[in-house]
Structure 1
Amino acid sequence: MKLLRYGEAGHERPGLLDPAGTVRSLADHTADIDAALIGDSAAMAALAALDPAALPAVEGAVRLGCPLAGIGKIVGVGLNYHDHARECGAPIPAEPILFLKATTALSGPDDPIRLPDDADKTDWEVELGVVIGRRARCVAVEDALAHVFGYCVAHDVSERGHQLERGGQWTKGKSHDGFCPVGPWLVTAEEVGDPQALALWCDVNGVRRQSSTTGEMIFGVATVVSYISRFMTLLPGDLIITGTPAGVGLGQRPPVYLKRGDHVRLSIAGLGEQNQTVV
């Protein structure tokens, strides 16, 4: 099932994408797509039993918001692709590198990326987003995927100057408003299948900058979920962004960064596509 939220920012309504690609309203069946819903197995079973063709179609062009409301925390994993570590000249991490990204950075998949006034090294990073569906605390690797509700495209927009030159705290460069576009859909885990077999890519101004697969991850989704759960309890609705492959602006020679007027497209197989203009 592909869940989504559509409408004006701050007033999104719940919906889903049917097999034909039509946005259908779920407003008669749930108040929102949120942590309470995805953590309720009975409520989710009821939605899964609906006939999408019987749901009202949403007519005309519609803005898509972040597909999940009430995300409790965003946990990022840094340098988690072999090819990205190589392009950065960094050693392969012995353990996952973690950082937090503010929830105020969340935005819709096609909302503009707004550069901070003093930004001059803003970078793109296509990432697989993992949404937790069951409380996870100190879970074993072999049990970790049972705690995953679903997957989505996430864009970990990063201002490298703030990330790397302002005291060494990554959160500063990762948390500006609008620096975490998510969506267009939240796809349930059973529909995605193997999270380590997904192609992902990112274009900037029509040039393919990133092209890889989630099989390049140093630490796979199960390992990441298990590892994070040993340092903090993961709750339904928490979002993990799992790292980016090679091809980021920082890795170009010389580095290339986003500027106002640039257009970014990014996608993960089966999870949809994002399109953003830098303003």
Structure 2
Amino acid sequence: MKILGVCFNYPTHRDEAQSLGLGVQSPPHAEPVFFHKGDSLLRPNTPFFLPDMGSSVEYEAELVVQISRVGKRIAERFAHRYYNYITLGIDFTARDLQRRAIAEGHPWLSAKVFDGSAVVGTWLSKEELGYPECPIPFRLDVDGVTRQSATSSEMIHGIDSLISHISRHQTLRMGDLIFTGTPAGVGAVEIGQLLEGYIGERRVLHLPIK
């Protein structure tokens, strides 16, 4: 199983990137930029244990798509056939390590791939969500306060476009996960916090920080 992430796929996060020390990014309509998250999936119903990495670890809430069939060079108009389930996930990022990697021109591996850094909630069928006819609203609450909120319609590159682009470069297989990018509002996590993720008004993720 591959876990893939997408960089700066919401205009609001692209706009806040400068304040996060992530530098100037590519033009908003450039091709999407991907990264791998390795074998970092957190086990279901497990708390996230804050790693001692000497870095600030930040949450990035995003919609996650699960690939349902094998595909290579998938045309965008057929991409909807390659996934059935969507949920809310968190791409945890060691921000200081990411800033250092960007400044030195290195890959982001140490910032993005560590134990439990990919979290997914309860899967919902796209039919249940009315997707793609209806945009998917989602939010992340930290200790009961909403920190991130957006809808799928705000993505620069939509789900089908992302699937088509990825499949040009590598074969997608059953069970692969695509984290589709985060909106503005990312922030540091601390021991004792509770992160709760919602799609619409349905809570799909409950994550204590230990």
TM-score where L is the length of structure 1: 0.66
- Give the letter aligned to residue 153 of structure 1: L
Matched with 1:77 is 6
Query: Deviation string for 1:109-159 (max 9, x for gaps)?
Result: x42211221243111111111111111100111011111122122111111
Check whether the contact 1:76–1:241 (CA below 8 A) recurs between aligned residues.
yes
**Number of residue pairs matched?**
199
- Give the letter aligned to residue 9 of structure 2: N
Q: How far apart, CA to CA, are the structure 1 residues paired with 2:107 and 2:176?
A: 21
Q: Give the secondary-structure state (helix, strand or coil) at the position aligned to 2:168.
A: coil
Query: Deviation string for 1:39-96 (max 9, x for gaps)?
Result: xxxxxxxxxxxxxxxxxxxxxxxxxxxxxxxxx1101111001111112144425010
Choose which of 220, 245, 257 in structure 1 pairs with 2:183. Answer: 245
Choose which of 184, 187, 195 in structure 1 pairs with 2:124. Answer: 187
Judged with a 3 Å threshold, the aligned counterparts in structure 2 of structure 1 residues 95 and 270 are, in CA distance, closer, same or farther, namely farther
Runs of 4 or more, structure 1, over 3 Å off, are: none
Q: How far apart, CA to CA, are the structure 1 residues paired with 2:198 and 2:144?
A: 13
Deviation at 1:163, TM superposition (A): 2.3
- State yes or no: 1:87 paired with 2:87: no
- State yes or no: 1:142 paired with 2:77: yes
- State yes or no: 1:261 paired with 2:198: no
- State yes or no: 1:98 paired with 2:34: yes
Instruction: Determine which structure has greater relative contact order: mean sequence separation of CA pairs < 8 Å that are 6+ residues apart, divided by chain length.
Output: 2
- State yes or no: 1:207 paired with 2:145: yes
Identity of aligned residues (%): 36
- State yes or no: 1:107 paired with 2:36: no
- Give the letter aligned to residue 129 of structure 2: V
Unaligned runs of 5+ in 1: 1-71, 250-256
- State yes or no: 1:158 paired with 2:93: yes
CA-atom RMSD, angstroms? 1.9
Unaligned runs of 5+ in 2: 19-24
Matched with 2:22 is none
Q: How far apart, CA to CA, are the structure 2 residues paired with 1:237 and 1:118?
A: 29
Matched with 1:223 is 161
Deviation at 1:270, TM superposition (A): 7.1
Q: Comparing 264-273 with 230-239, which one deviates more in the overlay?
A: 264-273
TM-score where L is the length of structure 2: 0.86
